[in-house]
A = this chain, B = another copy of it.
Amino acid sequence: MTSTQHPALLEELRRITGPAHVLCDGDLSAYTQDWRKRAQGKALAVVRPASVDEVAAIVKACAAAGVSLVPQGGNTGLAVGSVPDESGTQVVLSLQRMNAVRAMDAANLTITVEAGCILQSLQEAAEKAGFLFPLSLAAEGSCTIGGNLATNAGGTQVLRYGNARDLCLGLEVVTAQGEIWHGLSGLRKDNTGYDLRDLFVGSEGTLGIITAATLKLYPQPAARLTAWAAVPSMEAAVTLLGLAHRHLGAGLTGFEVMGQFALSLVNKHFPQLRVPFFEAVAASAGPPQARPAPSGGSEPHVVGSVGAPYCVLLENSDHESEAHAREQFERLLETALEDGCVSDAVVAENLAQAHQLWHIRESIPLAQAEEGLNIKHDISIAVSRIPEFVEATDALLRQNIAGVRLVNFGHLGDGNLHYNVQAPEGGDARAFLRDREEEVNTLVYDSVAHFDGSISAEHGVGSLKTDKLEIYKSPVALSMMHAIKGALDPLNIMNPGRIVKL
């Protein structure tokens, strides 16, 4: 039994939070298994503090006992960064009970919340006060803002509002020494020394524990319109992005690209979603038409009615009116049709249609899961180089792995692709992953490195990519990261083994 280890520490933890909030027995898998079920760890205890003072006391107690801590929010991370290892010697520090909205400052356009606040609750609190908190991602119903900041989460609104980092004006942090840094500034300018805030943001709990944050709010846009455009190539998608920046300015809040094969999976597994430009395929009785595979991962037998290798979802947020947003959108799409970088387009007539289009985009991972096991990547490349990257990497994978199926989609506006690899049709997907995942990853990441990209655009490193980081990150950068980790957490008790190996 884990609970027989470190009895004095457990006693101290019970004293700090009350015994009800130190969990040692029973099914703790909600805390010890990661979201994608890639790892099942074992905790000495799960501690659920209610205040920053309790967090500080817990860290001090663990430091004194030489026991390491794994901070955890909603445990929805995709890089296995917030569950304990298998040793049974780590304490999971769950921030879930610290979920208050501490303050709302309308004139300063800021909100201060505790780390355990669910992202969706935060969005709703902002909306209730007439503001927008723009961070938005698939897990928003269960992820917490603390986790979003610790992993510098991205999502669908980065193009306009930036990553989680860019939305944060201040932090409250418990250091590895159990000290409290009261850095909850609502200041937009503060040049009094090193940028500690941005150091903790994205550090995945390895330098300290974020317990609260002051975040930026924006006025709610008067209208949000969504369009769906078929484009003849990835180059055309990049051209469309440039046009959209010029026509919509800061109104451009979303620009998502989706490969034909990715959409065909949605069309296959969720036909009720009615993927635009797929109706003809769905209706056709005969076998689909075979034609050469266009660049970008579409399968020859699932080409849609317009034959476009990619579709793009665009969002225009307007501070004026829906009519103005529609006029702007129509002008953009007309120009794009004339230019030839769009072959067909629809603009959602109402909010329901807009939600439906986003729902299609968001259903790609689910459709992939329905299709079977697959290998996921979260990469970024300079936008200008993405067409060349995709063409080269598609070819490389096809050449090396017979029957490989490429599910390519993502936030093109940010240069971020979820360049996923589905096992060959009809084969044993489990065996494919077991035998080929490492090879696929190496092919993809080598190509990413060749194009000066990143192997983790928005999901972080966790424990999943530490080995890869040692290969693909510059030794100079790695050495600075080691120095910083050593300086701020000399006992190596804060989420050890994540991001950097010491």
Contact = CB atoms under 8 A, between A and B. Distances in A.
A446 B328 CA distance: 50
Interface in A469-493: 469, 472-474, 476-481, 483-488
A452 B196 contact: no
A242 B499 contact: no
A175 B207 CA distance: 22
A477 B486 CA distance: 17
Interface in A226-273: 238, 241-242, 245-251
Nearest to A242: B107
A105 interface: yes
A53 to B, nearest CB: 14
Nearest to A331: B320
A333 to B, nearest CB: 16
Contacts of A485: 194
Contact of A416 (B189, B383, B483, B499): B189
Interface in A176-220: 179-183, 185-196, 198-199, 201-203, 207, 219
Interface residues of A, number: 94
Given A107-B242, A250-B249, A461 B189 contact: no
Interface string A447-472: 00000111111111100010001001
Nearest to A465: B192
Contacts of A63: none
Given A175-B476, A488-B484, A186 B106 contact: no
Copies in the complex: 2
Nearest to A381: B187
A188 B481 contact: no
Nearest to A473: B192
Contact of A107 (B238, B454, B458): B238
A165 interface: yes
Interface stretch (A32-40, A150-158, A434-442): A150-158
A109 interface: yes
Contacts of A154: 189, 191
Interface in A55-110: 105-110
A166 interface: yes
A195 B107 contact: no
A319 B246 contact: yes
B487 A192 contact: no
A221 interface: yes
Interface in A158-175: 158, 160, 162-163, 165-166, 175
Contacts of A457: 187, 189-191
A415 interface: yes
B189 A195 contact: no
A400 interface: no
B110 A183 contact: no
A113 interface: no
Contacts of A192: 454-456, 461, 465, 469, 472-473
A220 B110 CA distance: 29
Given A191-B151, A198-B195, A481-B193, A452 B185 contact: yes
A500 interface: yes
8 contacts: A108-B382, A108-B415, A154-B189, A187-B382, A191-B457, A192-B455, A193-B477, A221-B249
Interface of A: 105-110, 151-152, 154, 158, 160, 162-163, 165-166, 175, 179-183, 185-196, 198-199, 201-203, 207, 219, 221, 238, 241-242, 245-251, 318-320, 328, 380-385, 411, 414-416, 452-461, 465, 469, 472-474, 476-481, 483-488, 499-500
Given A198-B198, A249-B251, 17 more contacts: A106-B242, A106-B384, A107-B242, A108-B415, A152-B191, A175-B476, A189-B415, A189-B457, A192-B454, A193-B469, A194-B199, A194-B481, A194-B484, A194-B499, A196-B481, A199-B199, A219-B249
